[in-house]
Structure 1
Amino acid sequence: MAGCRTNAKGNAMPISIRIGNQDLTVDVSSLGAEMQALTSGDGRSWLWTGDAAFWTGRSPILFPIVGKAPDDKIAIDGTVYPMAQHGFARRSEFALAASTETMCRFELAASEATRAVYPFDFQLAVVHAVEGRALTVTAEVTNRDPKPMPFGLGFHSAFAWPLPGASGRDHIVTLDNKGEPALVRLEGGLINPAPLPSPFNAGRLVLDHSMFEQDAMIFPDGAGEGLAYGSEGGPAMRFHFKNLPNLALWTKPGAPFLCIEPWHGTAAEAGASSELSKRPSTTILAPGAVASFAFTVEIPQ
């Protein structure tokens, strides 16, 4: 199936696919295989709208790095390549490989353009699938190269803050494991690895925009495989993560969204090597191997 249309100059034009059922509708763009809308059957919208006044992203896929690299450059076996923050997948046109009423699969394969900055033969497939009131987003990375392939993979979905029907209420993130994971912060976009006290208390974090004046809150370890994001006495979204050991929470102070970001890989550490394989939580995928990462979000009644 064709993944995109072309304009009069032959340039790719993104397409949009809508999947869903009576409970949940999801719109996905071929540009970045990025979710554009998440709407319950009663018309409530749970995903950020991408208002350019704050941030145009909605739910980008981060690959082959998460976060920044020193001077926007990575090294692979000593050779230096340019690499923008969060990698190139989010600005790449994916091909539509399959779709049904409740599922769509977009694929990005290595090209001359990607090899210029990331010298590997890979395939990145992103699947959105709806079942009942739940959406599962899966990223599947295949190493088609004869050598081991290092990469980071992350999700960067932004959800409404306040949630529908919850204006004026406190909003809370609650970890399923009731943990109090250590916090790290960014300095110039790079990780300062010195751990800070956890803002969680027995797994509970009452959100405040002032928490994001120093950029994202990043939890490299211990946030667990699931959480709830909801309002005090109001609706809550429930999340489950697969093969995503790192967690970040982010917004721009005053912006009406909260990014819930499960990752496998983080920004480079300040002062550390620019080698991609040395970044925290990097996956090194054997030739011919496939790695899968996923999150599921359930929308409240």
Structure 2
Amino acid sequence: MIIKLSSENYQVAIDTLGAELKSFTDPSGREFIWNADPAYWNGSSPLLFPTIGNVRNGRTIIEGISREMPQHGFCKSSQFSVSGQSENEVTFSLTDSDATHPIYPYAFKLCLTYRLCGNHLQMTCQVFNRDSRTMYYHIGAHPGFMCPLEEGEAFTDYILEFEKDEHLNATVYDLKNCCFSSGTHRLYAEKGRTISLAPELFNDDAIFFEHTDSNVVRLLNPASGKGVAVDYTDFVSVAFWTPLGGAPFLCVEPWNGSAIYDDEDDIFTHKRNIQSLEPGADAVYELGISLIGY
């Protein structure tokens, strides 16, 4: 079921399947979210939980048991319930069930709230540990943005611009062994804040920065100054991805966690940037999407 929100003639649409953002349009009807065309990628903005990326051979050890774990976890294929809704705000929730226990044994609850205020969309994800033991997880977002946004533009007209100067040294993904290579990096800037987009940048899959000093990154055309800003203050890492073949979109992915590294074992709690919650505790993660010049 699709839930629609509106504010000042801006509109968003979210699917109860995965609580996934499917559309964000401005007053002119311009679309900013990738349309999930399976010719390139059948997602638009999945929530990543309780894992990010892949685990080795599709399995990970949780509470002493080897468990099959889908790439990016199970939220994207789970039906969320609507627990509150107004004209410009909606909250979705998902709790553990017989379907999740074989994959992820913890008793949990996820609440994902979308709040639209004009050209700004705020996403708030709250994770609750309903279990009697410490709960471990990764959490991340995967919004895909149309790129280019305007007719007559090209993907290569756009840049990524961080709010601060960064040592932009990305960890390289080893496509042959399906893992990040802890000792292999690609330098994009010794000290800078922009990356000019080109399809070949993604020949090795995602561009992944394990840590940035910035909390905001912008996808924009410097000639017009228009684009999209993503505020990922509550996330340690950020990745960027588009599939090969000239896909007209770019994903900006804030992560707390990552796919498997070559130097990690298969025990879930040993994964990088693992999050933990004591029994009865909760944690909140905020993500903001703002349209620039629209």
TM-score (norm 2): 0.94
* CA distance in structure 1 between the aligned counterparts of 2:208 and 2:165, rounded to whole angstroms: 17
> For residue 171 of structure 2, what is the aligned residue in structure 1?
184
After TM superposition, the structure 1 = structure 2 runs for residues 52-91 of structure 1, keeping only pairs within 5 Å, are 52-91=38-77
Tell me, which stretches of 5 or more residues in structure 2 are unaligned?
Answer: none
* CA distance in structure 2 between the aligned counterparts of 1:283 and 1:99, rounded to whole angstroms: 29
Moved over 3 A (4+): none
CA drift of 1:197 comes to 3.5
**Is residue 209 from structure 1 mapped to residue 199 from structure 2 by the alignment?**
yes
8 Å Cα contact 1:158/1:260 also seen in 2 = yes
Deviation string, structure 1 residues 139-159 (Cα, Å, up to 9, x no partner): 111001010111000100000
> For residue 157 of structure 2, what is the aligned residue in structure 1?
170
Give, as a single letter, the amino acid of the residue that structure 2 aligns with 1:72.
Answer: G
8 Å Cα contact 1:182/1:221 also seen in 2 = no
8 Å Cα contact 2:168/2:192 also seen in 1 = no
Tell me, which stretches of 5 or more residues in structure 1 are unaligned?
Answer: 1-14
After TM superposition, the structure 1 = structure 2 runs for residues 1-301 of structure 1, keeping only pairs within 5 Å, are 15-165=1-151, 167-168=153-154, 170-187=157-174, 188-200=177-189, 202-222=192-212, 224-234=214-224, 235-253=226-244, 254-300=246-292, 301=294
CA drift of 1:24 comes to 1.7
Change (3 A) 1:180 1:276: same
* CA distance in structure 2 between the aligned counterparts of 1:17 and 1:93, rounded to whole angstroms: 13
> For residue 5 of structure 1, what is the aligned residue in structure 2?
none
Deviation string, structure 1 residues 249-296 (Cα, Å, up to 9, x no partner): 000121111000001111121242111111111101111111111211
CA RMSD of aligned residues (A): 1.4
Pick the structure with more strand per residue. Answer: 2
Give the length in aligned residue pairs.
287
Give, as a single letter, the amino acid of the residue that structure 1 aligns with 2:264.
Answer: A
| Identical-pair percentage | 27
CA drift of 1:78 comes to 2.3
8 Å Cα contact 1:237/1:299 also seen in 2 = yes
Change (3 A) 1:115 1:210: same
Give, as a single letter, the amino acid of the residue that structure 2 aligns with 1:54.
Answer: Y
